[in-house]
Amino acid sequence: MAALIENKILCVHSGIGNNINFLEELASVKKPYNPYKNEIILDLLWSSPIEYIENEDYSVENNIKKFKKRTYDETIVTEFFKNNNVSYLIRTHSALESGSDKIYNEKVFSIYSSRNSHNNNNASIIIVNKFLKIEQKIFTLKNTKNDINSILINEMAVKKFSSSSKSKDK
């Protein structure tokens, strides 16, 4: 349900909601679990930054459909980062026209990897280098499959070259 890169970058499907305060809580979830009855899992799957849901209907009926209103804001993220010595959150789940977004002083990255699924939206991926620098790659509707493959192959070649250069220097 979550991955932690070098103890600094937390990757989740949707977010941390307002029920998750410590990384240990994620590790404490025992399998098998019922995702509809576990608050931690529900937050990982369904919570969104408050800025992303302002236009959504949170009537009683819609709340029941979405398992309750699950949001978080910059204050919750800042406290979570402080409690856990985490620097970034990478999330998916929100359909973004641009394919990606950065909020909360560029500490929370949202990516959407399905191109042209919602009104001609772009897609994106995240690349994290060995120095934990996060880079977003955007794939527009103008990019062909060959363009996308080329971008990904070039990224891998750069990483391979920089890795092999380091080992030659030793």
Helices (H) and strands (E) in the chain, counts: 6, 9
Contact assessment for residue 70 and residue 101, using Cβ atoms and an 8 Å cutoff: no
Query: Whole-prediction pTM value?
Result: 0.76
- Domains annotated for the chain, with CATH where assigned, are 2-139 (3.60.21.10)
Contact assessment for residue 92 and residue 112, using Cβ atoms and an 8 Å cutoff: yes
pLDDT tens-digit map of 11-70: 999 899 988 999 999 999 998 988 888 889 989 988 888 877 755 554 445 544 554 568
Residue 23: exposed, middle, or buried by beta-carbon count in 10 A (0-12, 13-18, 19+)?
middle
pLDDT tens-digit map of 66-112: 545 688 899 999 999 999 999 999 998 777 766 678 889 999 998 87
Q: How far apart are the first and last CA of the chain?
A: 38
